[in-house]
Structure 1
Amino acid sequence: MTNPKDAPRATPPEPEAREHSLYGEELSPGAQVGGYIVESTRYRGSVSTLYRAREARTGELAALKVMRPQFAAARGALRRFQQEAETLRRLRHPHIVDVLEHGTLADGRPFIAMEWLEGRDLAAELAARGPFSARETLELLEQVGSALRAAHGAGIVHRDLKAQNVVVLPRASGPLVKLVDFGVAKLLAPEEAGSMVTSTGMVLGTPLSMAPEQIRGETPDARTDLYGLGVMLYQLVTGRPPFQGTTLVELEEQHLHAPVPRASERAPVPAALDAVVGRCLEKRREDRYPDVDAALEELRRAVRETGSGRSRQVRALGLYVEALIEGQIDDITLDVVDALLEGARTKADALGLTVMVEGSSFLLGVAALPEDAGAEREARRRVLELALALAEEPSQRIQLARVFLAPTLHVDTATLRPDASGRPGLGGGRLLRLSAWTTGHPGRGVVVTETALAGLEDTFQVAPLPGKESLRHVTRRAA
């Protein structure tokens, strides 16, 4: 047997090798950047990489943005990166991401340390839950507008205002948003025009939300951001951007020449909201609102009209319950199916769900969700508890008949409109397209879509369904 003391010892790497392993093209966990220690890579961009890091002394989380080595020698890219740090340092605002530190690594790569935002961007939020109501959209854009007001007041135009650059942070009192990525922001002060990062004739921005003057290579101003605000407004209430093309040229042509589509043709919003989108998206910036305050005031009026109109779009929850039969169907089996569905109807009604669609072996109960985030989450939790109880219904008669209930939960948009008596009731909308979300049930237990489960993952036992990316199989946590 070999004595452990005699075993060969691993030779520690040379200091230069250790440094290279930590500070290569991509920083490794443990690398120190300024006062921050890298934990992991979160996003690889074309010019920079975003890392999750912690402050060395306090352990506070931070987002670390470091330029990639091949761009550190490019004067234009370097100036844009440094300007972003300086821009954010000047813009201390509750709805703009905070800069904590900025500087350069030993090899000359610049970095920016920013507050860590534990949320997801508006584009991801939109993809997960579908279009927002007009009132929800106003709540979000009031905060975006507040950030733009501060930026424009400091002589800065963002120039890349889009859903991906607005991060949504969940709060009990309602969502908090933060405007991020001032990487192509431009100073508006005339005395600084000679040192602007991008000269007239250079196009910077994102094609889906780029203003006509950006496409033409003209100098932007605050009204350029109003164009981006209009794109975002249309996208939030309809679920899609106003202009889409298969090529960059086609997309640019639409921004330059195509008429603005009407949001009311894709969502139950009034003409007043169409008018706000239309004026924000005017081809000539002179025809847009003079500032963000004027645009938001018109949007507030449009939302008030939405609330008093005959119909409006709301987020609603759907509970689809199907009775499944194993084995031969006889009179006893059908009696059990009827009893089970009648019990499900009674329990759904007690939770405020209205049965809108019903067949011989299924029913659909729906309810508009509260606008308050906490109340909305609680409403979904209660219905999910009901679904679990239905799926676990204990009865000797049920077991003999080999019948069980297979519930599915989903959240999507529905139309709230007055019924014949004038009382509000839920009508059509995407939630009523049952084939889009009720066909993935494996036959046992409860199936919940991502939008219905959001924020409840830690409350229940959750497992993915093979081949169904947006569906989850939910059971109770073991006691």
Structure 2
Amino acid sequence: MAGNGEEALYGEELRPGALVGEWVVDRVQVQGPVSALYRARHARTGVPAALKVLHPQVAAAAVALRRFRREAATLQRLSHPHIVTVLGYGELSDGRPFIAMEWLEGQDLAAELATRGPLSPREVLAVMEQVGAALRVAHAAGVVHRDLKAQNVVRLGPGRGGPAVKLVDFGVAKGLVPGAPGSSSLTHTGVVLGTPLSMAPEQIRGEVPDARTDLYAVGVLLFQLLTGMPPFQGTTRHEVEQLHLHAPPPRPGEHAPVSAALDAVVLRCLRKAREERHPDVDALLEDLRGAVLGGAAPVEVPRAVGLYVEARLTGEPGPAAMEDLDAGLERASTLAREAGLEVRVLGGACLLAVASLPDDVRRERELRARVLDVALALTGRDASAARFHVTVHVDRLTARDEPHGWADGAASAWDAEGGEGGLLHLPGWVRDDGEEGTPIVTGPALRGLEMDFAASLLPDAPERWRLSARR
């Protein structure tokens, strides 16, 4: 075809009848910012196909062109019943690349949620078994999807031996191992790719993704399927990203009839630190089955917040100084109780107060904020002869194997979740970090409150912060 007829068929938007490789265009299905999706049919067999064609202005960019070709190579390598099948790929005469994929009769999960609302836990499990199987194959091949979301999971019609879902759109997939599709230099550390509503904190920070990055997106998808809404919503991309980075995730059970065990599975997926999520998709699915079907469901270890106050005299320990010390400890005891803590230890020069953290995310956050306010109040400078060294921490109330909580011997190694002996094993989390006047707060106690309190990380002390003020 020549002249105006050719221009009509092969303009920026392909018209019905345009021949793309072995496929004839029927109609445009979706116009996206980077590419267009067309319904087409094979010129000889008539079998329907989905054609993804890069827009001309995007195709002119070398990086975008390579990324598009990489998607085709990734999908061809990941042959699996729950991953969309690539039928072929190539280029139009003007250089625009295309991918021909199987045509999926059905609708994506976002459209399904919009029309029917949340799914039941058993329906969610059936969907996630299939999504998980697709991710297992991708991760085993060294590929992380990085854009798993409801729009990229298509539920097929029932005429294929029962409902099934397929994972689509590996456009921002990245290789985890050298030589895997996506392991090229097209994406570098510091470049953010993905959808804000589903992005893991490490993606937002531009860090190198791994399989656990997809598991965070699984948590977002689980929350959305169970409740009909994403866990974090905002009016701008920046606002949503800040929530993913700093805000504690809500429990699905706050919005839908979901069990505590299922809440625990979702919340573990949505942990800010990838090390705290499930190690792989199989571990996640095992916990999800237990939570939905019963049996060995995951149990979150009960946690509590602890406030430790140690009084120190600035001068000679005379009667007046001792009265100041006693008055200061009495004030600390009063403030701790008013904040909702129980005073467990009140000695001649120290105090330990604790409170179990509620399951409700908002109330849990409010309790920790009250304790940090108490810590700031106790370390304010005044004319008293007594100064207070204050530490706030979140951990188990007692050690795993010791019901009394006091561990013998040297202090255990302190990690991101605190001392191995729990809150009552003080050497595990209380240290002499130098100057009085500013409280010390550990990472688990500060987590999610960084926007409300000014704090600076202590040098050579990971997960320990010096608290300076309420913002």
TM beyond 0.5: yes
1:177 paired residue number: 165
Indicate whether 1:250 and 2:239 are aligned: yes
TM-score, normalization by structure 1: 0.60
1:79 paired residue number: 66
Q: CA deviation at 1:265?
A: 1.4
Describe the SS at the equivalent of 1:131: coil
Correspondence list, 1:81-120, <5 A: 81-120=68-107
Q: CA deviation at 1:199?
A: 1.0
Equivalent pair of 2:177/2:183 in contact (CA under 8 Å): no
Equivalent pair of 1:53/1:62 in contact (CA under 8 Å): yes
Equivalent of 1:270 in 242, 259, 265: 259
Describe the SS at the equivalent of 1:39: strand
**Of the two structures, which has the highest relative contact order with CA contacts closer than 8 Å and spacing of 6 or more?**
1
Correspondence list, 1:283-362, <5 A: 283-305=272-294
Structure 2 unaligned regions, length at least 5: 298-471
Q: CA deviation at 1:16?
A: 2.5
Residue identity opposite 1:244 in structure 2: Q
Structure 1 unaligned regions, length at least 5: 1-13, 309-479
Deviates more, 1:202-211 or 1:170-179: 170-179
Q: CA deviation at 1:149?
A: 0.3
Q: How many pairs align?
A: 295
Deviates more, 1:107-116 or 1:245-254: 245-254
Residue identity opposite 2:16 in structure 1: P
Q: CA deviation at 1:187?
A: 1.1
| Compared CA separation, residues 118 and 194, structure 1 to 2 (3 A) | closer
Correspondence list, 1:93-242, <5 A: 93-171=80-158, 173-190=161-178, 195-242=184-231
RMSD: 1.7
Give per-residue Cα distances to partners, 1:337-396, cap 9 Å, x unaligned: xxxxxxxxxxxxxxxxxxxxxxxxxxxxxxxxxxxxxxxxxxxxxxxxxxxxxxxxxxxx
Describe the SS at the equivalent of 1:254: helix
Q: CA deviation at 1:191?
A: 5.2
Structure 2 CA distance, aligned partners of 1:19 and 1:170?
Answer: 37
Structure 1 CA distance, aligned partners of 2:112 and 2:162?
Answer: 14
Among all aligned residue pairs of Structure 1 and Structure 2, give the percentage whose two residues are the same amino acid.
Answer: 68
Residue identity opposite 1:98 in structure 2: T
Q: Which runs of structure 1 show a deviation greater than 6 angstroms over 4 or more consecutive aligned residues?
A: none
Structure 2 CA distance, aligned partners of 1:187 and 1:265?
Answer: 37
Equivalent pair of 2:175/2:183 in contact (CA under 8 Å): no
1:428 paired residue number: none
Equivalent pair of 1:186/1:197 in contact (CA under 8 Å): no
Q: CA deviation at 1:195?
A: 2.1
Q: CA deviation at 1:194?
A: 6.9
Describe the SS at the equivalent of 2:158: coil
Give per-residue Cα distances to partners, 1:7-37, cap 9 Å, x unaligned: xxxxxxx822221111011111111000000
Equivalent pair of 1:186/1:196 in contact (CA under 8 Å): no
Equivalent pair of 1:84/1:183 in contact (CA under 8 Å): yes
1:364 paired residue number: none
Residue identity opposite 2:285 in structure 1: L
